[in-house]
Structure 1
Amino acid sequence: MITNTELEYKGNLYPNSIIDFKRDTDKLYFTTLNGVILEITILRDSIFRFRYATENIFEADFSYAISENAILGYNQLEVEETATEYLIRTAKLTILVDKQTLRTQVSDLTGFIVCEDELGFHWEENYEYGGNTVKMSKITQNTESFYGLGDKATHSNLKGKRVSNWVTDQYAYGKDQDPLYKAIPFFIGLHNEQAYGIFFDNTFKSQFDFAHERRNVTSFWADGGEMNYYFFYGPSFGQVVKDYTNFTGTPELPPMWAMGYHQSKWSYFPESNVRELAATFRKLRIPCDGLYLDIDYMDGFRCFTWDKNHFPNPKKMISDLEKDGFKTVVMIDPGIKIDKDYSVYQEAIENDYFCKRADGAFMKGKVWPGECYFPDFTNPVVREWWAELYKEMFTDIGVHAVWNDMNEPAVMEVPTKTAPLDTRHNFDGHPCSHRKAHNVYGMQMVRATYEGIKKYVYPKRPFVITRAAYAGTQRYSSTWTGDNVATWEHLWIANVQVQRMCMSGYSFVGSDIGGFAEQPSGELFARWIQLGVFHPFCRVHSSGDHGDQEPWSFDDEVTDIVRKFIELRYQLLPYLYTMFYRYSKEGTPMIKPLVYFDQKDPQTHFRTDEFIFGEQILVCPVQEPNAQGRRMYIPRGTWYDYWTDEVVPGGMEKWIVADIDKIPLFVKEGAIIPKFPVQQYVGELEIKELLLEVYYKKGVENSTVYEDAQDGYDYKKGRFSLRNFSFRGKENELIIQQFKEGTFITSYGTFKMNFHGLPFKIKEVRVDNEIVELKDVKLNGNNNIHISKEFTVLHLIG
């Protein structure tokens, strides 16, 4: 361990020697001579919380990020004191606390150092605002890589980068521009095939330096608050992400229609344009579930109102659209127009719900309606009021979902683009300034929206979208990556951002397909659709002033390509729904970068383009114009080319042919991929037979299919169907076992199994050890069979 030679260096203050140690069950307290207290909480054998106080005083312990459902409990906790250190041992790790410096070191049971303080905790008193700037520095290993931090528009590996967390409205942002719309202060470190994670739960503006200033040091700091971070040990990359996601929470399952294709623009109005849009989707047979109304549906941009000139009867319009399979999603922003005749404004004034400046004046800012006041969503009373405002919109008019935008909060015509720092907030009974509340403002707005919509769409499930977010916002809302640009570079950025968000615990995410600002070419739009249909949230959105961006806005070739890939998304909905089930239940990210898939392969540590969609589909978008293919990295294992059934070995780079109508797409051998027939919207068809695409493997592979009623809460009462398939392939035989859970009865009674790469001609079929006549399973050559969904063991013999 490094020793402190001076108590103060370059204005920074450091802990000195430990003079007291106390234990309170799972909490360990170390107090230094100069009044620093380190509280280490053992949350699990591999998850610890490190919290530092100065002047012997901790702040009130409160977090918006941590889920109340986080799983706690450890198997072992022992503390040993030596002449120079304290050693804290759990069933998986050892923490060393140095007596002279309070520096810490975490190692595994073999003594391998996973994470180690460099200067460790230090601070600088903030005489301008009060409190401290709190800092932490860690030693960076030579081969260490870093990932995470939410929506950063930069290379997926953060080694050598410095980034900040301050949610910001960044219209038409560029590559490497920072900060953006979200503050998710969580990163994963990986070295020597060992992964760990650190979540710095501090809502002030924070900075992360990944060996940028000093090549052997990673540091993070915040403008105020406490040094309060959680340490997650893998050793697998996936375990770190799952554990962090468990601690900050996962969403409940959304309705399946929320995973369909959505169409948006700023703006679709008047009503005749919306109806024409819907009719064109159905006429051209392009599947779509969601249509979006941007701010122009409102009366003078007043939230919770309707422009009766543009939408004279919104209830009837929404009802008519619903009959044709469309759900209507509307925009709600935080800025409330200052207007004495506007009921929302009146209620907020009467009840003192708006944010105020330090000297008592209301915080005023210009947004779309003009001058506005802003509700304090960190006040639980205000959140309850805001939730109730959705009643008429949902119960009377019939809106299906809400999209919260501009909730950083964005403020126009000021250099900071947001509220003044002296704005006051309740912070759930912990009063503070905007310096502390800024990064959670949008999170608390969408939380209030979620709670209102959940109440008023019941017994259906809510669907909400947000632009701004802090860690944990995934519990309430889906999100998108903000106001991007119709460029090839932004196609690359969208790919990286969605991967990064998924490994930062926030999987229900997508980008504005085609770009929000400027106009894409037909080729760029087609390539972006090919990527976007493999993102958990799939929505085209554009500013509208550069031209139209509907699937048919280009030539017939592009329209056909777009239709083809949207249809593929709808076919893969049961696979996507299963992905979401695993995310919701286990914290498994829906999109996995290659480093998540195989952290032992150093080739994956710097890959940005390829990703795993769910568990068994490999995707690699084409991100350059005029390309007829691309080089891509095939990770470990053996893969089937989705388009040709060519079998490709992993662990190598390969040129993949992919003209404008294809995206490089591969399926893991042994996979069983469920598919629906093409529908124009979720629920249009009663599924009579589930298609299972079965990819042969000499060996063992497991696959899962989760199903329920696609909406509502019966699944929480056990009315779901979870089918686990165990695949075992040999030279002349194939055995598939099915293990079923749940009481939900699917609409179909049979599976159609399509076999890919089967190396033998089927001569005998046994179901649950009984020989079945080949004509009874409708054996079609050697490609497919039809079989009852109730089988336990299927045995094919060549």
Structure 2
Amino acid sequence: MKLLSKLLLALSITLYPALFMPVQAFTPDTGEQTAFAEKWQSYRHKGNTLVLHSPRGQIVIEYITDNSVYIHYQANGVKQLPGYLLDEKRLDENLQLDKQSITTSVTEKTDALSFSSTTSSVVIRHSPFKLAFYHQGQLKLEEELGYIAGKNSQGFRFKLAADEKLFAGGQRVLGMDRRGFKLPLYNKAHYGYEDNSKQMYFGLPGLMSSNKYMLMFDNSAKGSLDLGASEQDILEFSAGGGRTAYLVTMADDYPDLLDHYTSASGKQPMPPMWALGSMASRFGYRSEAQAREVVAEYQKQKMPLDAIIFDLYWFGPDIKGHMGNLDWDRKTFPQGEQMVKDFADMGIKSILISEPFVLTSSGNWQAGNDARAFAMDAQGQAKTFDFYFGNTSLVDVFSETGQKWFWPFYQKQLDWGIAGFWGDLGEPEVHPADAVHSLSESGQSALADEVHNVYGHQWAKNLYQGFNRAKPKQRPFIMMRSGFAGSQRYGMIPWTGDVSRSWAALASQVELSLQMGLLGLGYTHSDLGGFVAAETFDAELYVRWLQFGAFSPVFRPHADDSVLPEPVFHGEEVAARVKEALSWRYQLLPYNYTLAWENHSKGTPLMRPVFFEDDTLAGDALLDTKAYFWGPNLLVLPVTAPGVTALDYQLPAGNWFDYFTDQPYSMGKEGGKSKIPVNQETIPVLVKGGAIIPHAPDMLNTREYSGDELIIHYWFDAGVGESRFRLYQDDGQTLGYQQGEFTKIDFIAKASEQKLSFNIALAELAKKQLPGKQLSLVVHNAPHFKAVYLEGKRLNSSYDQSSKQLKLSLAFDGKPLALTFN
């Protein structure tokens, strides 16, 4: 057997010498040359694809949508790994989701070839060979040298316009504009970061430009992204292998840009509704008894709770020596399955952590080795190495044998009633460069550095597909620390890693979530309160972080258990303020769940930079991280320093109202600076004039929400004129929404001086009959209307002069309601 292994290894080295070359720390070559400088010789056009042939290889140009085009340079003799960026659904002729007919044409010119869709064009220059990308006739992006290749690297060079700003690279703490930085592309843990980090857990090989294009490189290998650092107006991507391909997406505005990009790379599935609720989590719950005590304390204090998350102590009594066991430690969790069931009966979901490392001290290592489930060494044996938790092997999530061996552990968890998976250390945190992975889908092998950046992405894909097979009616919940461009299509919910518990670290979380959301990962969130504990507990910092968390994609306090992360353990004053913040979040559930639908259907992030909602902003105004929009109507200003009593902020044009007090801020047509008071009970949250925001009655768990009782808040603003909000509702649990099992209700206001019409109507209905809904309408900033009429009939309403609020009750059964206020 050993002789056969050596013969096979020798044959592999002969056939695939590049695969077995030693991999050094990646450094780009100097003096690189373009590989396609000569004029192309011929081309072939079919459907949405154009193939160009040149002496050095071929270039495939494919329209994925009218506004997204995929470029794949295939140089002769250069190894090409699989692509991971594009959504697999586009290859399945039986799926009609997000399908769109693409009409393309080719026009020959004297010095160029133009390949066009109905909205975009790729212009191929003859000599030197390079591509330029146009949208609606406007140049968006142009290769400088295009494809470049050196002895140990390959990549691309593009021109940068003098004034464009680049939101790039995914998780980094560098400021919103990443131009002028050279970013390493190698997912890597940064324990205890604060207000600066160039390299983190979840990098992304691409960018969004203020010139309204996106450029994403479909390359999983270790590399770098030079955003004008080496040469001021040159963008250069380099990698030590991988795939020489990239995607360009173009649009006229930012929302459409993300819609087009996620149509190509994949839409985020709808999360289960409970994922928008409160989660209890720590490092970690050391016993079943301790976990039950925590849940009991939440219930005793009437603190909302929808899920509890178990860190690594569920399979071992201490940190080291147990990773890979993946079963209850029966000494500390004697009835783990019953605990999960008991929590489920309370409406509380359970989530378990797992890591891709299986220690040689684990009882599962030998079985994994026998199944050839691990990444291999050069001799074809399971690669073993030391890291913090012990001597280990790494599950080969790319190989069929690794996938088949790993999945039954997750299937067992589902059988116990576990509602979601938490994948940790998936960069992978330690990934020896000489480890060999088997890429079963393509039949290739790859060294660790060639696929490192896509390891978490592949792991999430395996879990997502396995979950859907095992629970075809249930929505997956998959929280991961690392991934790749397009990971959102596997339902990935990323977080920002092991952040310090400090004010500087809190301030950095806005930038991190905004950057990731702009590149498709809309559920990026933080360990609320900070993971790495300080010497003393800072109650003010903790409360401010959780108040910010009420307006972030996931509410999950998490920390080392030297300082408990759950709000129920820090006294009455802290608990009361966090409970109030959670009350805001749960009352906003109809609004927040609609934001989840917008993310699923259009790729729109839940947290949005201010420029995303105000397209007139330019220059430094694009770089704001002091505030962000939560959905289309709420402007959130986190408090990121101690002792703050007011915030000075440049508000956008129009009228704004304090979400909690209705205090008005009138900014006129140009916008202006305003001093916004701050108290300990809330962080500043402002509402756009004209906003319509549906609320629910307060609750302690999302299973209390049916959507049949709603409070519709509307902020009257005669200057806005017409405003609207489309409310989305479904069952919150199943995949029925994919077959159209949902309801959409339109709320439309038309305001003028001393007059208002307010219409409510069904936009879409999944069932034949809409269950009756009890609606309360609250008009803020309301003039003292003398009467409210519905179809000529005067309604009872109440008006409070001091608060300027008008309230009335309505029954809605699906028939349109047209209200007139005089």
Instruction: Judge same fold: TM > 0.5, yes or no.
Output: yes
Pick the aligned partner of 2:437 from 415, 424, 436.
424
User: How far apart are residue 526 of structure 1 and its match?
Assistant: 0.9
> Would you say the 8 A contact 1:578–1:705 is kept in 2?
yes
- More divergent stretch after superposition (231-240 vs 522-531): 231-240
Q: Which residue of 1 aligns with 2:480?
A: 466
Q: Which residue of 2 aligns with 1:450?
A: 464
User: How far apart are residue 60 of structure 1 and its match?
Assistant: 5.4
Q: Separation in 2 of the partners of 1:323 and 1:780?
A: 43
User: How far apart are residue 214 of structure 1 and its match?
Assistant: 1.8
SS in 1 for 2:295: helix
Pick the aligned partner of 2:423 from 404, 407, 414.
404
Q: Which residue of 1 aligns with 2:110?
A: 83
SS in 2 for 1:197: strand
Alignment of 1:573-584 (within 5 A): 573-584=589-600
User: How far apart are residue 726 of structure 1 and its match?
Assistant: 2.0
Alignment of 1:217-256 (within 5 A): 217-256=234-273
Q: Which residue of 2 aligns with 1:22?
A: 43
Alignment of 1:606-617 (within 5 A): 606-617=623-634
User: How far apart are residue 461 of structure 1 and its match?
Assistant: 2.0
> Would you say the 8 A contact 1:357–1:424 is kept in 2?
no
**Which amino acid in structure 2 is aligned with residue 208 of structure 1?**
L
Q: Which residue of 1 aligns with 2:713?
A: 693
Q: Which residue of 2 aligns with 1:5?
A: none
Q: Which residue of 2 aligns with 1:592?
A: 608
User: How far apart are residue 399 of structure 1 and its match?
Assistant: 2.1
Pick the aligned partner of 1:122 from 148, 151, 164.
148
Alignment of 1:221-620 (within 5 A): 221-299=238-316, 300-339=322-361, 342=363, 344-366=364-386, 370-395=390-415, 397-411=416-430, 418-426=431-439, 428=441, 429-457=443-471, 459-476=473-490, 477-519=492-534, 520-545=537-562, 547-602=563-618, 604-620=621-637
Alignment of 1:47-58 (within 5 A): 47-55=68-76
Q: Separation in 1 of the partners of 2:35 and 2:666?
A: 53
SS in 2 for 1:512: coil
> Would you say the 8 A contact 2:193–2:505 is kept in 1?
no
> Would you say the 8 A contact 2:303–2:568 is kept in 1?
no
SS in 1 for 2:595: helix
User: How far apart are residue 67 of structure 1 and its match?
Assistant: 0.8
Q: Separation in 1 of the partners of 2:583 and 2:372?
A: 50
User: How far apart are residue 423 of structure 1 and its match?
Assistant: 2.6
**Which amino acid in structure 2 is aligned with residue 377 of structure 1?**
V
1:97 aligns with 2:119: no
How big is each residue's C-alpha offset from its partner over 1:108-157, in whole Å with a ceiling of 9 and x where there is no partner? 444x422122233221122xxxxxx1222222212111114321222112
How big is each residue's C-alpha offset from its partner over 1:431-457, in whole Å with a ceiling of 9 and x where there is no partner? 211122211112222222233334444
Change in Cα spacing, 1:75 to 1:473, as seen in structure 2 (3 Å) is: closer
**Which amino acid in structure 1 is aligned with residue 295 of structure 2?**
A
User: How far apart are residue 75 of structure 1 and its match?
Assistant: 5.2
Q: Separation in 1 of the partners of 2:243 and 2:629?
A: 37
SS in 2 for 1:470: coil
Q: Separation in 2 of the partners of 1:148 and 1:673?
A: 32
User: How far apart are residue 287 of structure 1 and its match?
Assistant: 0.8
> Would you say the 8 A contact 1:628–1:658 is kept in 2?
yes
- More divergent stretch after superposition (682-691 vs 355-364): 682-691
Q: Separation in 1 of the partners of 2:145 and 2:474?
A: 52
1:710 aligns with 2:710: no
User: How far apart are residue 795 of structure 1 and its match?
Assistant: 1.9
> Would you say the 8 A contact 2:242–2:451 is kept in 1?
no
> Would you say the 8 A contact 2:351–2:421 is kept in 1?
yes
Q: Separation in 2 of the partners of 1:746 and 1:564?
A: 32
**Which amino acid in structure 2 is aligned with residue 408 of structure 1?**
E
**Which amino acid in structure 1 is aligned with residue 39 of structure 2?**
I
How big is each residue's C-alpha offset from its partner over 1:220-260, in whole Å with a ceiling of 9 and x where there is no partner? 22221333111111121222222112212123222211110
> Would you say the 8 A contact 2:283–2:559 is kept in 1?
yes
The answer for unaligned runs of 5 or more in structure 2 is 1-28, 91-97, 317-321
Q: Separation in 2 of the partners of 1:207 and 1:390?
A: 35
Q: Which residue of 2 aligns with 1:415?
A: none
**Which amino acid in structure 2 is aligned with residue 682 of structure 1?**
T
1:739 aligns with 2:761: yes
**Which amino acid in structure 1 is aligned with residue 288 of structure 2?**
E
**Which amino acid in structure 1 is aligned with residue 445 of structure 2?**
P
User: How far apart are residue 13 of structure 1 and its match?
Assistant: 4.4
**Which amino acid in structure 1 is aligned with residue 474 of structure 2?**
K
SS in 1 for 2:661: coil
Q: Separation in 2 of the partners of 1:797 and 1:452?
A: 54
**Which amino acid in structure 2 is aligned with residue 406 of structure 1?**
L
Q: Which residue of 1 aligns with 2:806?
A: 783
User: How far apart are residue 623 of structure 1 and its match?
Assistant: 1.0
Change in Cα spacing, 1:45 to 1:680, as seen in structure 2 (3 Å) is: closer
Size of the alignment, in residue pairs?
Answer: 765
Q: Separation in 2 of the partners of 1:649 and 1:421?
A: 62
SS in 1 for 2:601: helix
How big is each residue's C-alpha offset from its partner over 1:755-789, in whole Å with a ceiling of 9 and x where there is no partner? 111224141312xxx223423x6778852110112
TM-score (normalizing by structure 1): 0.91
Change in Cα spacing, 1:377 to 1:31, as seen in structure 2 (3 Å) is: same
User: How far apart are residue 58 of structure 1 and its match?
Assistant: 6.8
The answer for unaligned runs of 5 or more in structure 1 is 1-7, 127-132, 412-417
> Would you say the 8 A contact 1:762–1:796 is kept in 2?
no
SS in 2 for 1:18: coil
How big is each residue's C-alpha offset from its partner over 1:189-232, in whole Å with a ceiling of 9 and x where there is no partner? 124xxx11111110011321222222222222222133311111
**Which amino acid in structure 2 is aligned with residue 240 of structure 1?**
L
